[in-house]
């Protein structure tokens, strides 16, 4: 069931760490490649030698045990298909929730953009502590809650590590979860460029990060992806490099009929220069210079009209606003005719353009809204697909 899958198994300092030896055997019997990362305290409950023998891989503990100039927290994060932390203590939960990277395991999780499973185990009073509950709610991971029973500390209540079968089954489910299999997803990204002359142009501050995250996410979920972008990116799916709004429209027209879903995350210039100068425009003695601009096609509106009443492709637009976010988004959704509109506030420095984070509201044509609180753009991308494909 896990043939060819790469599982990064994190173990923290809890008494139930000894149970994880059997979980490793379960993964290995299912033909998974397993690498174990322990916090220093985990090795007080289970030995490194045991874990190495069971996993058939070296066990990593030290954050600065760098080999061949390849930092382990990044190389391991890139290697794995999924990270499973079992048991995860209240201490590690809280560190991850606040982005504290003071050991190898927490550093890996901070850099990890694929599925994460946390299986907590602790004293029942610790589990019920409002601070721990709040920290868990901050995490966009799969949480396998502990079970009730007799605890090692002598208490009886909810705090026992959940069954290994439950962890194993959830691992199988997540690494094989491809809800977009067979779907052709077209995503646009970046800020288009409108040339003035050979050395000058009109553009905007869009970094293309949100569109690229959506394309990466669609690929991870099994879709056949085409990214039409004004940015210079290299991916293992089809990338069409464009420059201007007209270039982007041409590429979209070409791919329209094969798309199941088009996501317009690009920041397309509303205007272009009427008369492009083939030679560099020289500075003159005049204090002012006038550029004559003409309106670019409204690509979102045009592709929505192109459906001519058909349900496909599903069309998702983006709305970047600096004021009256929801009011402007609702008006745009009505005017454009798309199925969903993703509204984000570009006036905030901690989200949006150039940031690795975003906070958006998803509006649908039936009047529904879903607010996605601030998170990294890959997490936001997963939540967007969850909202539009259910």
Q: What is the pLDDT of residues 311-320, one digit of tens each?
A: 899 999 999 8
Q: What is the pLDDT of residues 55-90, one digit of tens each?
A: 999 999 987 766 665 677 888 999 999 999 999 999
As a whole number, the mean pLDDT across the chain is 93
> Which is it for the CA torsion 202, 206, 209, 210, positive or negative?
negative
Give the other-Cβ count within 10 Å of 182's Cβ: 9
Strand partners, 137: none
- CA 144 to chain CA centroid, nearest Å: 21
pLDDT-derived band at 354, boundaries 50, 70, 90: confident
Average pLDDT over residues 7-33: 96
d(CA 121, CA 20): 12
Residue with tokens 């601070």: 131
- Contact (CB, 8 A) for 228 and 242: yes
Closest CA to 320 of 298, 297, 338, 347: 347
What stretch of H or E contains 74? Answer: helix 72-79
Three-state secondary structure call for residue 365: coil
Closest CA to 357 of 380, 324, 329: 380
Total length of the chain: 390
d(CA 113, CA 277): 45
Strand partners, 238: 226
Bigger pLDDT: 349 vs 321: 321
Average pLDDT over residues 315-333: 94
d(CA 390, CA 384): 9
Residue 351 has pLDDT above 90, yes or no: no
d(CA 83, CA 76): 10
Closest CA to 11 of 36, 30, 35: 36
The pLDDT, as a whole number, for residue 89 is 97
Domains of the chain and CATH, by start: 6-175 (3.40.50.1950), 184-389 (3.40.50.10300)
Residue 223 has pLDDT above 90, yes or no: yes
The pLDDT, as a whole number, for residue 68 is 63
Active site amino acids: 153
Strand partners, 341: 317, 363
Bigger pLDDT: 66 vs 306: 306
Percentage with pLDDT > 70 across the chain: 98
Average pLDDT over residues 9-27: 96
Percentage with pLDDT > 90 across the chain: 81
The pLDDT, as a whole number, for residue 196 is 97
Closest CA to 292 of 279, 275, 278, 269: 275
Closest CA to 220 of 170, 184, 187, 178: 178
The pLDDT, as a whole number, for residue 70 is 65
d(CA 157, CA 155): 6
For residue 64, give both structure tokens.
């600065």
Residue with tokens 């850099």: 111
Closest CA to 215 of 243, 180, 240, 185: 185
- Give the chain's end-to-end CA distance (angstroms, integer): 25
d(CA 111, CA 356): 12
Query: CA-based Rg of the chain, rounded to a whole angstrom?
Result: 25
How is the beta sheet containing 340-345 ordered, strand by strand? 238-241, 224-229, 184-189, 261-264, 314-321, 340-345, 357-364, 369-376
The pLDDT, as a whole number, for residue 388 is 93
pTM of the model: 0.67
Q: What is the pLDDT of residues 132-143, one digit of tens each?
A: 999 999 998 999
The pLDDT, as a whole number, for residue 251 is 98
What stretch of H or E contains 50? Answer: helix 48-55
The pLDDT, as a whole number, for residue 220 is 83
The pLDDT, as a whole number, for residue 343 is 96
For residue 273, give both structure tokens.
């220069």
d(CA 250, CA 149): 63
């Amino acid at each position: 069931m896990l043939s060819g899958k790469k599982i990064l198994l994190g173990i923290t300092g809890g008494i139930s760490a000894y149970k994880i030896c059997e979980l490793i055997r379960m993964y290995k019997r299912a033909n998974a490649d397993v690498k174990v990362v322990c916090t220093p305290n985990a090795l007080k409950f289970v030995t490194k030698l045991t874990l190495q023998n069971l996993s058939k891989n070296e066990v990593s503990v030290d954050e600065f045990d760098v080999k061949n100039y390849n930092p382990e927290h990044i190389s391991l994060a890139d290697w794995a298909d999924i990270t499973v932390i079992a048991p995860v203590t209240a201490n590690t939960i809280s560190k991850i929730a606040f982005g504290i990277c003071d050991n190898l395991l927490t550093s890996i999780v901070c850099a990890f953009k694929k599925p994460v499973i946390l299986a907590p185990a602790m004293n029942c009073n610790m589990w019920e502590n409002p601070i721990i509950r709040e920290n868990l709610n901050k995490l966009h991971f799969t949480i396998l809650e502990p079970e009730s029973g007799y605890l090692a500390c002598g208490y009886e209540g909810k705090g026992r590590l959940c069954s290994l079968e439950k962890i194993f089954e959830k691992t199988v489910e997540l690494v094989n979860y491809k809800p977009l299999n067979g779907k052709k997803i077209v995503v646009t990204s970046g800020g288009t460029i409108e040339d003035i002359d050979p050395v000058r142009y009109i553009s905007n501050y869009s970094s293309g990060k949100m569109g690229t995250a959506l394309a990466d996410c669609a690929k991870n979920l099994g879709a056949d992806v085409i990214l039409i972008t004004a940015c210079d990116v290299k991916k293992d799916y089809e990338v069409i490099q464009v420059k201007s709004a007209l270039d982007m429209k041409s590429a979209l027209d070409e791919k329209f009929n094969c798309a199941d879903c088009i996501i317009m995350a690009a920041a397309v210039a509303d205007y272009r220069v009427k008369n492009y100068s083939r030679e560099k425009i020289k500075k003159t003695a005049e204090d002012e210079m006038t550029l004559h601009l003409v309106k670019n096609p409204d690509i979102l509106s045009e592709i929505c009209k192109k459906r001519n009443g058909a349900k496909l492709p599903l069309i998702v637009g983006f709305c970047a606003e600096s004021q009256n976010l929801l009011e402007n988004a609702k008006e745009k959704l009505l005017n454009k005719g798309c199925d969903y509109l993703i509204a984000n506030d570009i006036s905030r420095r901690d989200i949006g353009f150039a940031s690795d984070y975003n906070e958006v509201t998803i509006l649908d044509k039936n009047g529904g809204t879903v607010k996605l609180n601030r998170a990294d753009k890959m997490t936001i991308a997963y939540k967007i697909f969850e909202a539009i494909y259910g």
